[in-house]
Each structure stands twice: as C-alpha cells, then as structure tokens.
Amino acid sequence: MAVIEGRNLRKTYTLSRRNEVRALRGVDVSIEAGELVAIMGPSGSGKSTLMHLIGLLHSPDQDHGPAPELSLGGRDATRMSDGARTRIRAREMGFVFQQFNLVPTLTAVENVMLAGEYAGLGRRQARERAIARLTTVGLAERATHRPSELSGGEQQRVAIARALVNDPALVLADEPTGNLDSHRSAELLGLIRKLNREHGQTFVLVTHDAEVGAACDRIIRMRDGLVQAMELVREPTPDDVGEAAA
Ligand SMILES: Nc1ncnc2c1ncn2[C@@H]1O[C@H](COP(=O)(O)OP(=O)(O)O)[C@@H](O)[C@H]1O
Ligand SMILES: [Mg+2]
C-alpha cells in the first residue's frame, strides 16, 4: 500500500513581485509502506521542498494548475486542519532537517526527549527512549552536551536520534549523512536498513551521496522542480515483505 501519494505538487516561492522561484513545478510521487527511498538531484532542484510537502510542513500551491492531491496513509492531507497535521507529524513521522534544528539551550538528551513529549510520552519514558536512541547512534556519552558543544556530525546524530524517538512509521531525512565521515555514514545506513527491515519503517532520504542512493530500494531523481526519473535499485525480496509485515 502506498503510504504517500502525491499528485500535481507545485510550490512557488515569491521573493518579490518580479522574483518568483518555481521550486516544484508539478510532481507526482508515490511511496510504498516499508520502502527505503532516496531523493537525489542537483542543489536547488526542489528536493527539500518536496520533503517539506510530504512531511506536512508546507502545503502545495492550489493555483496555476490542476488541483494538488496529497494523501498520507489514505488520509487526505489537503483537507486536514493544522492541528491534525501537527499531530500526525509528532506521532507518525520523524524528521532530520538539513540544518538539524536542535534547540540550542537544551542538552542532547533534552532535545531528543522533547520530540517524545510532543508525541505524548511521559517525561520518564521520553528520557529512557531518548537515552536508548542516543546510544543507538553512538552518542550516549554526549547526552548532557548542548549543541554548541558538539561537532556537526554529532549534532546530526542527535537529530537522527530525535527523529527515531517515537518509532515513527515514516522517517524523512534531509541529507542525513551530510556531516558524517564515510565510516559514520556507512554505520548510519546500516542502522536505517536494519530499522527498515526489522520494523518496516519507511524512509525517505534526500541525499547527494551516490553511496546512500545505492543502498536504497529506489531513487527518485529530480531536476528543475520536476521528477526526472525513477530508478529501481533493488527488487524487494519476499524476505523484506515478510519481515515488514511481521
Ligand atoms: N523559503 C524559500 N524562499 C524562497 N526560495 C526558496 C525557499 N526555499 C527554497 N527556495 C528555492 O527553491 C528552489 C528549490 O529549493 P530546495 O527545495 O531547497 O532545493 P534542494 O533541496 O534540491 O536544494 C531553490 O531555487 C531555492 O533557492
Ligand atoms: Mg535541500
């Protein structure tokens, strides 16, 4: 079943009356539950914008073309209240933003806990989960550091732990390996593959890195605000399907 179904997705940013950027010019996209998908393409091709629409952070434009459609797990996102969108984001999705978006005054563990508490976990459970996820990404010993006391790669791993704290069905990650060295990057890909296989979590990774793309099931290639090509990297095996359904 498609977990995300989007059609006619357009987004124009208006900088001034004469200066508009057509970031997405009519994109159709469909992502299956349990898929691990990469979105690749040159800088400025609309990858982050597409991720923000899929993640219900922004809404597609209604004007200048056929009506946009966006459904999430069968629910029509174009008709949802802001409250419903916020709830789905907090409970069902995990985000890794390109700029991490960590709260500078909170420690690593507090940053991760916050996402758990937004999703309705009690403080104690949020703390336990936060420590477990920081351990998963190899940062347990940095739990009480603030972002300014962490390297770029460490901040990125805190952002990843935060995205995973609620065991979300859908993880959206914008350049999740952008600040990691090749060893850490391979390690993170291994973790993503494992979560994808063992828990059936769906991952959409925006990436520049060909090795990240090659580790995914499918690559959506974007150019100038359009989907240029879809490439199947590997056929899902019966094993994947069986494990995802279990
Ligand atoms: N908030 C914004 N305001 C104005 N222009 C934007 C904004 N966000 C993105 N853009 C522009 O939209 C285009 C697509 O951006 P983006 O989706 O971030 O591309 P990518 O992630 O592929 O680099 C770029 O030309 C970018 O400069
Ligand atoms: Mg981007």
The predicted-structure confidence for 30-59, as pLDDT tens digits, reads as follows 999 999 999 999 999 999 999 999 999 999
pLDDT at position 237 is 62
| Nearest residue by C-alpha to atom 25 in ligand 1 | 44
- CA of 222 relative to ligand 2 center, distance in Å: 12
Q: CA-CA distance, 228 to 218, in Å (whole number)? A: 14
pLDDT at position 137 is 92
Q: CA-CA distance, 204 to 128, in Å (whole number)? A: 26
pTM (2 decimals)? 0.92
How many helices and strands, by DSSP H and E, does the chain display? 8, 10
Q: CA-CA distance, 54 to 31, in Å (whole number)? A: 10
Ligand 1 proximal residues by C-beta, below 6 Å: 13, 15, 21, 23, 41, 43-49
What separation in angstroms does the CA of 229 have from each of 32, 37, 54, 128, 223? 17, 13, 18, 42, 9
Per-residue pLDDT of the chain (246 residues), as tens digits, is 789 999 999 999 999 889 999 999 999 999 999 999 999 999 999 999 999 999 999 999 999 999 999 999 999 999 999 999 999 999 999 999 888 999 999 999 999 999 999 999 999 999 999 999 999 999 999 999 999 999 999 999 999 999 999 999 999 999 999 988 999 899 889 989 999 999 999 999 999 999 999 999 999 999 999 999 999 997 766 565 544 444
pLDDT at position 240 is 57
Q: CA-CA distance, 176 to 100, in Å (whole number)? A: 9
| Nearest residue by C-alpha to atom 26 in ligand 1 | 44
Q: Which ligand is nearest to the CA of 222?
A: 1
Q: Which ligand is nearest to the CA of 49?
A: 1
| Nearest residue by C-alpha to atom 16 in ligand 1 | 46
- CA of 207 relative to ligand 2 center, distance in Å: 9
Neighbours of 63 (CB within 10 A): 7
140's CB contacts (< 8 A; 6+ apart) are 131, 134
Parse the chain into domains and list their residue ranges: 2-245
pLDDT at position 238 is 59
Q: What fold does the segment set 2-245 form as a domain?
A: Rossmann fold (3.40.50)
**Exposed / middle / buried, residue 147 (Cβ in 10 Å: 0-12, 13-18, 19+):** buried
225's CB contacts (< 8 A; 6+ apart) are 22, 23, 24, 25, 26, 27, 45, 46
